[in-house]
Structure 1
Amino acid sequence: MDYLSPRDGGGHGTHTASTAAGYFVEKANYGGLAAGVARGGAPLACLAIYKACWSMDTGGCTDADVLKAFDKAIHDGVDVLSLSIGSGIPLRSYADQRDSIAIGSFHATTKGIVVVCSAGNDGPFSQTIANTAPWLITVAATTIDRAFPTAIILGNNHTLMGQSIDTGKRKKGFTDLTYSERIAVDSTDDSAKYCQFGSLNATLAAGKIVLCFSTSDKQNMFYASIAVANAGGVGLIYAQLRDNQLESCDVIPCVKVDYEVGSQILSYIRKARSPTVKLSFPKTVIGKWPSPRVAYFSSRGPSSISPTVLKPDIAAPGVSILAAYPPVALIKSVHQDWSPAAIRSALVTTASQTGTDGMDITEEGSTRKAADPFDIGGGHVNPNKAVNPGLIYNTSTEDYIQFLCSMGHSTLSIGRLTSTAINCMKNRNFGLNLNLPSITISNLKKTATVTRTVTNVGRVDSVYKVLVQAPYGVQMVVEPQILCFNLTTRVIPFKVTFFSTQKMHGDYQFGSLIWTDGEHFVRSPISIRVIKFDSYADV
């Protein structure tokens, strides 16, 4: 349902607006869970909200509405724009008139407006990231250290733990427990295993808590709960891959578990003559789980359309959030004269790669692994450090135009995007040399040299030395290795030459380049793929 007015019918816009700049709310909670003071990232900021998407049958976000919202925001003089929308694969060219986000954000950026976009929800698969234009700040989603453990007490007094945010009424004491395949309408139909609608026998399901296993992306816990409730069930235990997302089932209490816990419950059901279970109410627990972790659903890089531009740029909390703290508005309030590129640089180069447990940040995928730049970009945002980054990598509008030229776009198509006359320089390496706070080379054969320029925004007479962690199979040489700044020298270029030592066609390897004066550690993530075959598809 939606309204033919600025009113929010779906709730997504209201949620993201409160995340950005919601004011302090005492005793905020979700059904009694996660109670505390909630606030947005910049609670004293003024909000301007532009409705560009609709929840009606013919809804979505039309290009016309999105561009109109950009135009209004630019006219109104906003400082920061946040867009939690995006398109899926295949991505359109940045100069394509149908990519309204790339076009609108380009014009906003030229006016000094910082544009922040979500990475997308198509993870954990490689090359699924959206909003990859280099003038955008693209943000991956991570977890926080809050969980909602729920005790599952089996009839043999063995207690297992799941998670739930359902706090509604539930039966006191023990309730009959069954496995969905045991109560299938058709024993030869596998759809009962993951509780598809209409697959469960109402006579056998009535009054019971049902264990279901999700084995595909065609079903989720919410729709499984509807199927169980429709068959007369009174509760659901849902076993599935770890995906970080908790949804409320509303109709019946639901508890999410992983396959290991689900298998233990199933083993009990098969052994017990009359299996029973009791579902406790969920609790809020903070600080007992390592965080952040990259959310399962968060789209991953590299960019499928411009692999020399590292995406995402950074990662920030995006799972089970009442309100979060995207720090862009805070940095803009402290450094009002900084360009969008400078703010993006500060965020990327000061981000953290370490979790609360002191270990590398991990990512939730088919298996847990250390997160790499295609999961988290520069790392997890650190607002306090981003305000004082020491050095920044700045990028001009002309730089972005030459980047588009290097991608092979015609001057006509780029001119339509920029609304200006275009003069493309004959520099095929501009894609590599775009002054980003990261370095990505998708096709290193033998050697490649990349140039970057840093601007000192710290102490006037700072001296920075370089620290290098080269990707596996690659040697790096940085020139110069020391940067000396003073009153007259605030901007210094440097170059990095990469040499491949591999003899085989490889996959991406990762490293970093850090400039430090002893106080600041200005870190650029590095992603290199050594190739022996041009345009080879790793499938």
Structure 2
Amino acid sequence: MDNSLQSAKLVLLLAIALVLFLNTELNFHIAAGALDSDSKVYIVYLGEREHDDPELVTASHHQMLESLLQSKEDARNSLIYSYQHGFSGFAALLTSSQAKKISEHPAVIHFIPNRILKLKTTRTWDHLGLSPIPTSFSSLSSVKGLLHDTNLGREAIIGVIDSGIWPESKALNDQWLGPIPKRWRGKCEPGEQFNATIHCNNKLIGAKYYLNGAVAAIGGKFNRTIIQDFKSTRDANGHGTHTATIAGGSFVPNVSIYGLARGLVRGGAPRARIASYKACWNVMGDEGGGTDGRCTTADMWKAFDDAIHDGVDVLSVSIGGAIPEDSEVDKLDYIAAFHAVAKGITVVTAAGNEGPGAQTVNNVAPWLLTVAATTLDRSFPTKITLGNKQTLFAESLFTGPEISTGLVFLDSDSDDNVDVKGKTVLVFDSATPIAGKGVAALILAQKPDDLLARCNGLGCIFADYELGTEILKYIRTTRSPTVRISAARTLTGQPATTKVAAFSCRGPNSVSPAILKPDIAAPGVSILAAISPLNPEQQNGFGLLSGTSMSTPVVSGIIALLKSLHPNWSPAAMRSALVTTEPIFAEGSNKKLADPFDYGGGLVNPEKAAKPGLVYDMGIDDYINYMCSAGYNDSSISRVLGKKTKCPIPEPSMLDINLPSITIPNLEKEVTLTRTVTNVGPIKSVYKAVIEPPLGITLTVNPTTLVFKSAAKRVLTFSVKAKTSHKVNSGYFFGSLTWTDGVHDVIIPVSVKTRYSM
């Protein structure tokens, strides 16, 4: 998802006419007047397939359209996509009257307008505790832990739905990779500047692109003045290349960005295979001010459909929309993702970049693995020396040479004739335009947002208000203020501690408050990975980008490793292993202590997730209960699943969905809920409950001891009674429930908000 996260910063830097690419994730806004006034693209969702043969599924779609349009030719011309592999449905170009008629068809479960979505490394893997990689990549002898046990994820297949891929990237080399797994059913499609035979290899094993939805949205023709992209999987933007190589990029030694963040770059699963599904396109913005990445729901659904057919193990989807307001089952790509999860594919999604406000988190369906972003224990400190010899430190990606200039302050009230040529300019949040005035450097004082940019080579220094005020005080008390700015350097470890990124979206879930979102957090700030050489922020095909778009593929890479180690684990088991194995209590927004609405279960720990001890698993029955509790009727659920289904009576409680978390949004007096755990550790194990109750809440667990005696009885159920002493409507209080056998600590977050009634 993209840096609306950086919207304030972007507005500022555009205002001073610096051509910056601060958006590390892609925005999608329909060009003004692009949509045809009579016909629009709609998605018709019909549920699970009635036929195993994809051609029969497509034929049924043609028949439905033909009965509506009364013409075979019109039906054929209207059809944009047939979703025929993972589920049944189609996208079609329809008038409003046709749309109304087909939406009333008894076989139609959901009828969804084609919507607009947003596309929301050297130090990352060391920071997360994965074994260091030896200099000689051909040997695994010195690789330990999860990477060793999975052969670096060699047989895993990572699908990435994004803006495509740059196939010549060094991070896509297939050195030391064997043949493509025989189970792979996908392919590489040729296209503009993309030769399937030359550009795919044993690393990049799949490449497809989806353009019909985007073209229909701009009038039905591929117009180069609007869509400034390759008609192929080739990535003009760089976002897709970056996310794909974070997840599964090969080894590339001695990489840096102008000397910063130098080291060995690799993906989380460096020997995994990558399949790129390009569903997002570079499209000219509303006012012609450059291109943005744009994705339509119709194209996204087809990418999901193909990925399910092709046989990916995990889907990395750094895309989302606005803050959710309607049901997860109706929302955007959630139902397509449901079918992927139902077929054993873990779908990893971005929490969003509109934080740090509450209830901003995206991708909130319970079958999605939703990822927040944290900083790394790495910073790029930049020394600022004022003319009075005072030394201050800010952050930047400025790599020199050292700047020594006069220093001036500008704001909206400043005289247009202020001489800034060859000087360093201090601004607070907004500034008078200075394009063409020969500014040497810019110091931007603002609310911390954890985002850095190179500013097209200009010395761009990012400071907080406190530091900015200190510099302003010097300017106002000095006749001829001067400043010297040194090149940034790379600092790892203390005092550069991990915290939840300011831009990362927070919970609680705006649609289903009992479903904790985000699920987990991972590094997403200044992540170094491959990028398109067409991106102006790159150097030698690599770039530093920030956003939950970057934290998402970090988790996707870890899922690929876990899938290699535990091929029979469900997506829910994978999520549980991540969520329950390493909580954090780090800084959140506004320097408060972070809580589960900031980071879910905590900062992901790959090594511990490989051996979690217990998992909170979920299957189709859990998702049925969720849909029932969300108000869906038996008929709709039956068609989604492709089999007759009845909701239990009484209606299931959403509190009983077997999540690796407990969230009670409106506790009045007391409530009892249940959870089930599956033993994936030693067969004979005894776990005891350790409770850290939220403030003013009593938690009672029954039983307090779980005894696993044999392989035949690996599943046990327990209840949790929550009771409050609060006699007011409260905000959320936080605690935890841990099951421990002395080796494994299986921790789930507990979040409770009380409601008092007389």
Is TM-score (shorter-chain normalized) higher than 0.5?
yes
Gaps of 5+ in 1: 193-199, 354-359, 535-539
- Contact 2:520–2:602 (CA under 8 A) maintained in structure 1: yes
The aligned counterpart of 1:357 is none
The equivalent position to 2:746 in structure 1, one of 511, 515, 522, is 522
Identity value in percent: 50
Amino acid aligned to 2:523: P
Give the superposition deviation at 1:481: 0.7
Matched position secondary structure for 2:335: helix
* 1:196 corresponds to: none
Which deviates the most, 283-292 or 467-476?
A: 283-292
Q: Give the partner amino acid of 2:425.
A: V
Structure 1 residue aligned with 2:444, among 219, 234, 238?
238
Question: Which residue does 2:425 correspond to in 1?
Answer: 210
CA distance in 2, matches of 1:298, 1:90: 16
Sort the Cα spacing of 1:318 and 1:143 in 2 relative to 1 into closer, same or farther, 3 A: same
1:183-205 Cα distance to aligned partner (Å, 9 max, x none)? x6xx3xxxx6xxxxxxx725522
Query: Do the aligned residues in 2 keep the contact of 1:95 with 1:409 (CA within 8 Å)?
Result: no
SS at match of 1:54: strand
Does residue 400 (structure 1) correspond to residue 623 (structure 2)? The answer is yes
Counting matched residue pairs gives 498
Tell me how far 1:438 sits from its aligned partner.
0.5
Conserved? CA contact 2:578–2:609, under 8 Å: yes
Post-superposition shift, 1:273? 0.5
Map of 2:60 onto structure 1: none
How many angstroms does 1:533 deviate by? 5.8
Per-residue deviation, 1:290: 4.4
SS at structure 1 position matched to 2:456: coil
1:344 alignment partner in structure 2: 575
- Preserved CA contact (<8 Å) 2:395 2:461: yes
Structure 1 residue aligned with 2:358: 126
Which residue of the other structure, out of 634, 645, 649, is the alignment partner of 1:411?
Answer: 634
Q: Which residue of 2 aligns with 1:280?
A: 486
* Offset at residue 415 of structure 1 (A): 4.5
Q: Which moved more, 1:419-428 or 1:27-36?
A: 419-428
SS in 1 for 2:262: strand
Distance 1:418 1:205, change over 3 A: farther
One-letter amino acid of the counterpart of residue 427, structure 2: C
| Superposed displacement of residue 409, structure 1 | 2.3
SS class of match (1:55): strand
Per-residue deviation at 1:207? 2.1
Does the residue aligned with 1:400 lie in a helix, a strand or coil?
A: helix
Q: How far does residue 156 in structure 1 lie from its aligned partner after superposition?
A: 1.1
Counting only pairs closer than 5 Å after superposition, residues 179-194 of structure 1 correspond to structure 2 as 179-181=409-411, 187=413
CA contact (8 A) 2:625 2:652 kept: no
Q: 1:503 to 1:319 in 2, by over 3 A?
A: same
1:52-67 equivalent positions in 2, closer than 5 A: 52-57=279-284, 60-67=294-301
Q: Does 1:72 align with 2:306?
A: yes
Cα distance in structure 2, aligned partners of 1:11 and 1:168: 25
Q: Is the CA contact 1:28–1:35 (under 8 Å) kept in the aligned structure 2?
A: yes
The reply to whether residue 464 of structure 1 matches residue 687 of structure 2 is: yes
Separation (CA, whole Å) in 2 of partners of 1:287 and 1:82 = 29
Alignment partner of 1:489: what SS? coil
Structure 1: how far apart are the matches of 2:692 and 2:365? 27
Aligned CA distance change for structure 1 residues 157 and 416 (closer, same or farther; 3 Å): farther
Q: 1:418 to 1:86 in 2, by over 3 A?
A: farther
Deviations 1:394-428 (A, max 9, x none): 11112102211101123344445444443222243
User: Residue 100 of structure 1 corresponds to which residue in structure 2?
Assistant: 332
Q: Show the counterpart of 2:275.
A: 48
Distance change >3 Å, CA 514–CA 239, structure 1 → 2: same
Structure 1: which amino acid aligns with 2:689? V
Which amino acid in 2 is paired with 1:94? E
After TM superposition, the structure 1 stretch with the greater mean CA deviation from structure 2, 341-350 or 397-406, is 397-406
Shift of residue 160, structure 1, vs aligned partner: 0.8
Q: How does 1:169-318 map to 2 (within 5 A)?
A: 171=403, 174-181=404-411, 187=413, 201=416, 204-214=419-429, 227-318=433-524
**1:37 maps to what in 2?**
264
CA distance in 1, matches of 2:756, 2:335: 35
Q: Distance in 2 between matches of 1:442 and 1:428?
A: 18
Of the three residues 720, 727, 732, the one matched with 1:508 is 732
Answer whether contact 2:254 2:263 (CA < 8 A) is retained.
Answer: yes
Partner secondary structure for residue 580 of structure 2: helix
For residue 706 of structure 2, what is the amino acid of its counterpart?
L
| Displacement after TM superposition at 1:432 (Å) | 0.7
Is the contact made by 2:379 and 2:496 (CA closer than 8 Å) also made in structure 1? no
Alignment of 1:27 onto 2:261? no
Structure-2 change in CA distance of 1:159 and 1:346 (3 Å)? same
- Paired residues of 1:201 and 1:231 also in contact (CA < 8 A): no
Separation (CA, whole Å) in 2 of partners of 1:71 and 1:344: 22
- Work out whether residues 380 and 397 of structure 2, in 8 Å CA contact, stay in contact via their aligned partners in 1: yes
What is the rounded CA distance, in whole Å, between the counterparts of 1:255 and 1:448 in structure 2?
52
Instruction: Give the TM-score, by structure 1 length.
Output: 0.89
Say if 2:352 and 2:504, in contact at 8 Å, map to a contact too: yes
Q: Equivalent residue of 1:231, what SS?
A: coil
Instruction: Name the aligned partner's letter for residue 60 of structure 1.
Output: R
CA gap of 1:37–1:476, structure 2 versus 1, over 3 A, is: same
TM-score computed with the length of structure 2 as normaliser: 0.64
Q: Which amino acid aligns with 1:55?
A: N
Measured against aligned partners, the alpha-carbon deviations of 1:233-261 in whole angstroms (never above 9, x if no partner) come to 22101101111111111152111111111
Moved more, 456-465 or 401-410: 401-410
Q: Confirm or deny: 8 A CA contact 1:202 1:232 kept in the other structure.
A: no
Gaps of 5+ in 2: 1-227, 286-292, 530-550
SS at match of 1:294: coil
Structure 2 CA distance for aligned equivalents of residues 279 and 501 of structure 1: 57
In 1: Cα distance, 2:640 partner to 2:238 partner: 32
Q: Distance in 1 between matches of 2:420 and 2:650?
A: 68
2:663 aligned with 1:440:
yes
Which of the residues 523, 532, 537 maps onto 2:756? 532
What pairs up with 1:126-145 in 2 under 5 angstroms?
126-145=358-377
For the structure 1 residues 202 and 20, does the alpha-carbon distance in structure 2 shift closer, same or farther, using more than 3 Å as the test?
A: farther
SS across alignment from 1:464: strand
For 1:151 and 1:458, the matched residues in 2 are separated by 50
Are the aligned partners of 2:674 and 2:720 in contact in 1 as well (CA < 8 Å)? yes
- The answer to whether residue 726 in structure 2 is matched with residue 494 in structure 1 is no
Please provide the CA RMSD for this pair: 1.8
Where 1:293 maps in the other structure, the secondary structure is coil
Q: Tell me the CA shift for residue 456 of structure 1.
A: 0.6
Name the aligned partner's letter for residue 393 of structure 1: Y
Q: Does 1:151 align with 2:151?
A: no
Alpha carbons of 1:90 and 1:138: their partners in 2 closer, same or farther (altered >3 Å)? closer
Contact 1:456 1:490 in 2 (8 A): yes
Equivalent position to 2:397, from 152, 158, 165: 165
Residue number in structure 1 paired with 2:142: none
TM-fit CA distance, 1:123: 0.5
1:154: how far off? 0.8
Aligned in 2, Cα 1:524/1:468: closer, same or farther, shift over 3 Å? same
Work out which of the residue numbers 563, 570, 573 in structure 2 matches 1:332.
563
Using the alignment, how far apart are the partners of 1:281 and 1:57 within structure 2? 35
Asked whether the 8 Å contact 1:228–1:234 carries over to 2, the reply is: no
Q: CA, structure 1 residues 169+91, in 2 after alignment: closer, same or farther (shift >3 Å)? A: farther
